[in-house]
Structure 1
Amino acid sequence: MTEQQSVDQELANEVAKISSLMGPWAVRVASTLRLPDHIAAGTTKVSELAQLTGSDPDVLGRLLRYLSVLGVFREEAPGEYQVTELGEFFRDDHPMKLRRFLDQNGFGAKLDAVTARLEQGVRTGRTVYEDVFGRRFWEDQDDYPDPELSFNTLMADHTRWFGPDIRDSFDWGAHKLIVDVGGGTGAGTLLHELLTHFPGMRGILVEDPRETATSAAGSLGPIGDRCTLVRQSLFEPMPQGGDVYVLTNILRNWNQQDAIRILRRCAEAAGPDGDVLVLERILSAEDQHQIHVADANLRILLLLGGKERTLEEFREIGRAAGLDLTATTPTGYSHMYLIRYSAAGRGHQA
């Protein structure tokens, strides 16, 4: 084989990885059957895994062999597999909870069905969710037999994963009243993290029942006596008196004008002395490691018609809402930033 042929072969392998649908679906089947969990628990032979999962032994063996090529499993002996370091990410007890996003018995299946309409989204520039399922995204989020695989539970797991990083990225303890805007989507998880860590803090959880599959009532457990639940549209005037108004992965769900409307409501309630904190990823053309952010930028359009934003776009929507973007702080979690807004003219812009 010539040097050029060797280079071409390597490129062909890379093309296969990014163009073949077999890899993504193989990972989803393994996650749905919970193969990494079963193997880690000691069931390592194909014949035993087939019996445990109700699968065809021959085809299951082919699946495991393919996934071993991708590095998810490692064949220790003929017909016997172990989970690799990469495969650990697909175990149910992994903190990222990735397996639940891939399980075809839950929200993951709907996410995949919408992704198949990417061409339609690119052509029209709008959400395709209603075209696929006959109902808008939020109207369709209450039909999961297993609540552990519902959208809201997955979002709560996601917030719980980066919660400690958020807690350590800002001087929350200097504030007495935190207003979590739209936090019901994550079952109040961030507010739960903050109120648990800061016993002198009180919270208000603003939840739009039309935009949240399940109510956050009671989700705060023993700290519920320090938290008030307010059910209202995010486009209505916000509760007054908060020191900080927090939006975690909320603005990304909305188009430009709606994001501005929500920010403006927060600015009105915060007044000249309060702050508005937005916790979201920031798109960067210079960062070549943002594949998951670029992925989310397409998915959020297909699901809700929203978008991920660059720093300049965050600055623009803040300015339109009467706010100056005064600081951005990386949280240590996957390109997630704490974006701080203050009343226009109050502080130095970042």
Structure 2
Amino acid sequence: MGMRQDIEDLAKEAEWQIREHKWVPSANDHTVAARVAADLRAVVGTPQSQQELLAVTRLGHLREALAAVTIALAYVHGPMAWFLGAAATALTPILHWRAMPARHGHTFGATWAKVFGELFWQSLSNDARLAADFDAAMSVHAAAVGPWVAGARDWGADNRVADIGGGTGGTLRSTLARHSHLTGTLIDLPETVARARDNSPTPDEPTGTTDTAARMTFCPQSFFAPLPPGHDVLLLAHILPDWADDDCVRLLRRCAEALPDAGSVVVVDRVVSVDSGEEQLPVSQRDLAMMVVLGGRERTEHEFCLLAAEAGLELLRPSLPAPHQGLHLLEFGKRQ
């Protein structure tokens, strides 16, 4: 009853926006809508063909169709995108399961690319405003998660840490600020590193810690290229869910190549539980977002371990759960 009421309220909001001319479709709106509709028809097929599919596949199509329209609306009109995004969230209780098994691929692929004709990462590189919004969102994550990462494990035996795909450096700065003996390298694409160089220290940096910037270096490159050696810890925070399984294995193999024998690969990400309790709600929503925007997925601890094993890594100790967001810290080393 609650979900039905949520959807009815959202529909009333949409009707009000149209009636009050808060949203007047333009020629560009119609063009985007026609293109998305054609792409959806091409992939989904006829109603008869849908009926012949397994229910789990049809629900997967529903999720991606909702996301495709939401992304298209975000391009032409923000408030209506909010409406449909909220409607998709209201459906989450009936989508409380893993949409696609590992290794089976996704029928739609990355929906962002279907709508815009380029991968999300290409859009990020080509659109300065999108890049700024993305940096701001990631900084919020880093402000919440960075201090926890810095305190969740024992960094005493480590000297150098590399934050791979670390964005503008919030998590790495938090870790260096808490552990004065550490030095760190931020590894990300050149345009991201350029923004990171200009980024101010995080608000949680302890008073009196003025040498954090001096202990931080920058390495502008793709993390699919060979990684610089000499780091005791390679940190992957909020990275693996952005990518499909094969890409994750590629990245983890790069980590294994660069890792010293006693080094660690520290993965910080949401972990999907085999249970479907309320705490899994944000994980389920993120699973949807990763699948349709990037072609990636959230994973169970077992799935993370399978990817690591394929790259020559093994779990060193039980994972550490964070007190919020379904996050876990998983630490891997070279397989002996």
Tell whether the structures are fold-level matches, with TM greater than 0.5.
yes
Structure of greater relative contact order (alpha carbons < 8 Å, 6+ residues apart): 2
C-alpha distance after superposition, 1:251-301 (max 9, x if no partner):
111100100110111111113110000000100121412111011101111
| Residue of structure 2 equivalent to 1:231 | 220
Question: Does the 8 Å CA contact 1:182/1:207 hold for their aligned counterparts?
Answer: yes
Q: Alignment partner for residue 328 of structure 2, among 320, 328, 337?
A: 337
Q: Alignment partner for residue 124 of structure 1, among 71, 82, 107?
A: 107
2:199 corresponds to 1:216: no
1:332 to 1:107, Cα distance in 2 relative to 1, 3 A: farther
| Residue of structure 2 equivalent to 1:319 | 309
Q: TM-score, normalised by structure 1?
A: 0.63
| Cα drift, residue 144 of structure 1 | 5.7
C-alpha distance after superposition, 1:165-191 (max 9, x if no partner):
22221112331101100002xx11100
| Cα drift, residue 326 of structure 1 | 2.0
Where do residues 151-300 of structure 1 align in structure 2 (5 Å cutoff)?
Answer: 151-184=134-167, 187-209=168-190, 212=192, 215-219=195-199, 221=201, 223-289=212-278, 290-300=280-290
Larger radius of gyration: 1
Q: In 2, distance between residues paired with 1:113 and 1:23?
A: 8
| Cα drift, residue 209 of structure 1 | 3.4
Q: TM-score, normalised by structure 2?
A: 0.66
Question: Does the 8 Å CA contact 2:193/2:219 hold for their aligned counterparts?
Answer: no
1:145 to 1:237, Cα distance in 2 relative to 1, 3 A: closer
Q: Alignment partner for residue 10 of structure 2, among 22, 26, 31?
A: 22
Q: In 2, distance between residues paired with 1:188 and 1:138?
A: 18
Name the amino acid aligned to 2:304. F
Unmatched segments (≥5 aa) in structure 2: 23-73, 89-98, 101-105, 202-209
| Residue of structure 2 equivalent to 1:9 | none
1:257 to 1:13, Cα distance in 2 relative to 1, 3 A: closer
Question: Does the 8 Å CA contact 1:181/1:246 hold for their aligned counterparts?
Answer: yes
| Cα drift, residue 105 of structure 1 | 10
Q: In 2, distance between residues paired with 1:25 and 1:227?
A: 48
Aligned-residue RMSD, C-alpha: 3.5
| Residue of structure 2 equivalent to 1:50 | none
Q: In 1, distance between residues paired with 2:83 and 2:189?
A: 26
Report sequence identity in percent.
30
1:25 to 1:167, Cα distance in 2 relative to 1, 3 A: farther
1:172 to 1:304, Cα distance in 2 relative to 1, 3 A: same
Local SS of the residue matching 1:129: helix
Aligned residues: 252
Q: In 1, distance between residues paired with 2:248 and 2:158?
A: 25
Question: Does the 8 Å CA contact 2:234/2:265 hold for their aligned counterparts?
Answer: yes
- Structure 1's consecutive aligned runs of 4 or more residues displaced over 6 angstroms after TM superposition are 23-26, 104-111
Question: Does the 8 Å CA contact 2:282/2:326 hold for their aligned counterparts?
Answer: no
C-alpha distance after superposition, 1:287-346 (max 9, x if no partner):
41211101110111111111000111001000000000122111222210001101102x
| Bigger share in strand | 1
Question: Does the 8 Å CA contact 2:234/2:264 hold for their aligned counterparts?
Answer: yes
Unmatched segments (≥5 aa) in structure 1: 1-11, 30-54, 56-103, 346-350
1:145 to 1:315, Cα distance in 2 relative to 1, 3 A: closer
Q: In 2, distance between residues paired with 1:191 and 1:107?
A: 36
